[in-house]
A = this chain, B = another copy of it.
């Protein structure tokens, strides 16, 4: 099972034109086995635990090129530090509440509709594989709770 994961990861890396290396597999593994977003320092810790020999600078570099390869999403929730999440190309979006800190998924259709309108009127093709919007959630607004969750 871990093997399957690694096989997938290797394939993904290769099709992204990257070499399959120990450091990359470790970073990917840590990200894959953690639910939700992780800050760089958490990733750093996870990788260090798995293989103390991998250097911090390498982890940062790997994170950056996994991001560039589209396998990892890097999000900035407002002021805070960056956080990383394994996405492997899947489209998904977040609404991040600045009051309570919760992050909820955002309907992808709304995003793609918006995206195509932008393309229409500006000729600009937006990269909306992973979008983060800050704001205030239903609960914190105290208003109607029409959101069902998923």
Interface residues of A (CB under 8 A from B): 64, 67-70, 76, 79, 89, 95, 97-98, 104, 106-107, 110, 113-114, 117-118, 121-129, 133-138, 141, 143-150
Contact = CB atoms under 8 A, between A and B. Distances in A.
A130 to B, nearest CB: 9
In the complex, the 4 A-B pairs of residues with the closest C-beta atoms, listed nearest first: A70-B149, A123-B138, A126-B135, A114-B114
A90 to B, nearest CB: 11
Contacts of A124: 95, 97, 104, 106, 133, 135-138, 147
A95 B134 CA distance: 18
Nearest to A140: B125
A121 B108 CA distance: 12
